[in-house]
Amino acid sequence: MIGPVAFLGTGLMGGPMCANLAAAGAGLRAWNRSPDKARALGHGIAVAASPAEAARDARACIVMVSDGPACRQVLFDDGAAAALAPGAIVIVMSSIGHQEALDLAERVRAMGLRWIDAPVSGGTPAAKAGTLSIMAGGADADIAAAMPLLSPMGRVTHIGPAGTGALTKLINQITVASTIATVAEAMLLAEAGGADPAKVREALMGGFASSRIMELHGQRMIAGDFTPGGPARYQLKDTRAARDVAAALGLKLPVLDLVDGLFADLVAHGGGDLDHAALLMELRRRNGRAG
C-alpha cells in the first residue's frame, strides 16, 4: 500500500471513500474545509489543518472536492502539490472538465509528479459500499501503482491517457442527466393522466424502460425525497462542461442542450442544493402544477 496518503475533501462522497480506504489499511491524512467532517470519520485517520499539511511528504494525494477551480485551489494555491514527495501520484477523483484535467495534468507533471484523473459514479450509496465505478485516465504504470488505493473504493476501468477519465465522467453525466429528465417526464405524465406513478414505475421496471435511474430516482420522485445525493447544481456544472467539450469538437448535441436548460432553470428557481431528481419540480413548474 502506498503511503502516507493525503485525502483532500471528505464531504458527501469523499467521506465514505476516505473511510473505506482507511479500513483497507491506508495511512491517511485528511483535510476538509469543514474540519468536523474530517474528524467524524474516525478509523484512525489523522486530520490536517490545511491541504499542504495533509500532503507533506505524502506518496499520493487524492482530491475529492467540488470542481476544477476547487482542485486548482487545493493543489496549487493552498500548496498541496508542492508539499508532496517527489514522484508522488496526484489522483483527482472530482468531476472536472476534460480540458481542466489536461491542464492540471500538465501542471502536475511539470512539478515532477504523476497524474491520474479518476472520477466516480454511483452516488453516496456506492461510495459507502465501496462499489463506485471509477473511470481512470493516466499512464499504465501510474494506474497500476495506484490500484491498491483505488480498488477499496470501487471497480476501476482504465480508459486511456490523462483526460480520458474526466471525459468518460462527462459522458456518464449527460447520460444520467438525460435519463433523469425522461424519468421525470414519465412520472409527470403518469400523475397528470391519473395513473399511480408507483404502479407505473413497478411496471416499467419489468421491461426495456428499466434502469438504475428509474429504480432509484424514480422512487425519489414518487416519495418527494430530494435530499441531495447528487445536488442539482453539480449536475448543471457537468452538463455545462460537457457542452464545452462538444463545442470544442464541433458537435451538436441537442438533447444535452435541452437537459442543460432544464437543470439551469431548476437551479435558478432555488433547487440547486436539492438532489438532481428534483428536476421533476421544474417540469411541474413549467406545467403550472404545484408540488
For 165-188, what is the mean pLDDT? Answer: 97
Strand partners, 134: 120, 156
pLDDT bin (cut points 50, 70, 90) of residue 252 is: very high
Helix (H/G/I), strand (E/B), else coil: 86? coil
- With contact defined as beta carbons under 8 Å apart, do 37 and 59 qualify? no
For 123-151, what is the mean pLDDT? Answer: 96
For 160-189, what is the mean pLDDT? Answer: 97
Return the pLDDT at 3: 76
CB atoms closer than 10 angstroms to residue 36: 8
Size (the chain), residues: 291
How confident is the model over 16-71, as pLDDT tens digits?
Answer: 999 999 999 999 999 999 888 888 887 789 999 999 999 999 999 999 998 999 99
- With contact defined as beta carbons under 8 Å apart, do 4 and 59 qualify? yes
Question: Mutual orientation of helices 164-193 and 232-248 as an angle, nearest 10°?
Answer: 120
C-alpha cell at 166: 474526466
Give counts: helices (H), strands (E), the chain.
14, 9
Q: pTM score, two decimals?
A: 0.89
Return the pLDDT at 279: 98
User: How far from each other are the two terminal CA atoms of the chain, in whole angstroms?
Assistant: 50
Integer Cα distance of 66 and 32 in angstroms: 11
What does R_g of the chain's alpha carbons equal in angstroms? Answer: 20
C-alpha cell at 115: 497524474
Strand partners, 92: 63, 117
Most confident of 24-33, 95-104, 179-188: 179-188
| Residues designated as active site | 169
Return the pLDDT at 1: 61
**E strands, 109-229, in order:** 114-117, 120-121, 132-138, 154-160
C-alpha cell at 196: 399511480
How confident is the model over 101-114, as pLDDT tens digits?
Answer: 999 999 999 999 99
Integer Cα distance of 18 and 41 in angstroms: 8
C-alpha cell at 179: 435519463
pLDDT bin (cut points 50, 70, 90) of residue 176 is: very high
Helix (H/G/I), strand (E/B), else coil: 211? coil
Nearest CA-CA partner of 154 in 266, 24, 36, 29: 24
Could you tell me the CATH superfamily of domain 167-286?
N-(1-d-carboxylethyl)-l-norvaline Dehydrogenase; domain 2 (1.10.1040.10)
Cβ neighbors of 121 (< 8 A, separation 6 or more) are: 132, 133, 135, 169, 172, 176
Look at residue 269 and tell me whether its pLDDT is greater than 90. Answer: yes
Q: Which of 9-13, 75-79, 90-94, 226-230 has the lowest mean pLDDT?
A: 226-230
Residue 20 half-sphere exposure toward CB, CA atoms < 13 A: 21
Return the pLDDT at 291: 61
pLDDT bin (cut points 50, 70, 90) of residue 290 is: confident
- CATH class for the region spanning 5-160: alpha beta
For 217-243, what is the mean pLDDT? Answer: 93
- Indicate the domain borders of the chain: 5-160, 167-286
